[in-house]
Amino acid sequence: MIQKMILTAGIILFLGVAVTIVGETSIILNLKSGILVLGGTLVIGFLSFPMKSFRDVFKSLHIIFRHQETDYQGLVKNIERLSRINRFYGNLALEKEADNIENLFLRKGIELVVDGYDPYEIHKIMEKEYELYFSRKESLINILDTLQKLAPAVGFVGTIMGLIDVLNNIGTPLEMGRGMAIALLTTLYGLLFANFLFLPLSKKFSEHIRAESMLLYVILEGVLDISKDKNSKAVAYRLQSYIRNHHGTNEDVVEYPARTEWLDSFNPLQKLLTRKQNV
């Protein structure tokens, strides 16, 4: 509910800023300038990336804006329950529970445990699984970043086209001034679309991916503990500790340098960013 209110307020602010700045220019002219910038940006984007990637972007954004806050407590309780079943009743009982697991990543991990993979193999398989997942997500973020960079460039092209038209039809200074003001409209819309639309969407997408990264990390740790037949209460306590650190509810004076370094090296998003910088 709060996210929808913020989104609505942002749209109203965007329209208010646009109307205030453009002043007395006609609505039709504003629509033409806006459509030129937005349409040109999307056309270049369509030529630069596969259509499937754009469909995935729209689908992911729809999911993100409808996304409810992750129930970490419910997830930990579910992992604790699965750990107890595996420890007391064995793999056969755990296999029956796997069909009822909604989270695909957790289901995958439980299936690996049931199939008898050792913790090291489970670690490597699941790590590769979500590295591929986050690599695909990063490519979607790259589309939004590209659109953010394209919008001002397309707006500047529109301004140049408008200035050419003004110079080809030189009249009185008043008419020239009005023509130049109209020509600059596309640059304005390019900046507005870049900073009020594509930039916020990209940042929101990135934060959603970071939250997913933490979620999958908690699942992986839980699956590894299940494969090691650890006590279910100990499993739940350790996962709760990770979640508290993630949400910043632990005291700052409590530090775990060795564990934090291992977590950073294991973070798939961080790995992708480091690899990108090295390239």
Most confident of 83-87, 141-145, 180-184: 141-145
- What pLDDT is recorded for position 41? 94
Average pLDDT over residues 153-178: 81
Average pLDDT over residues 107-127: 91
Phi-psi label, residue 116: left if phi above 0, alpha if psi -120 to 50, beta otherwise: left
More confident residue, 254 or 106: 106
Does pLDDT of 197 surpass 50? yes
Q: 121-160, pLDDT tens digit by residue?
A: 999 999 898 888 888 999 999 999 999 999 999 999 989 8
Which residue in this structure is represented by tokens 């489970």? 122
- What pLDDT is recorded for position 255? 41
- What pLDDT is recorded for position 252? 43
Q: 15-61, pLDDT tens digit by residue?
A: 666 666 655 556 666 778 888 899 999 999 999 999 999 999 999 98
- What pLDDT is recorded for position 167? 80
* Whole-angstrom distance, CA of residue 205 vs CA of residue 141: 7
More confident residue, 81 or 269: 81
- What pLDDT is recorded for position 26? 61
More confident residue, 210 or 18: 210
Q: 52-73, pLDDT tens digit by residue?
A: 999 999 999 888 888 777 788 8
The chain-wide mean pLDDT, for the chain, equals: 81
pLDDT classification of 268: cutoffs 50, 70, 90: low
- What pLDDT is recorded for position 202? 93
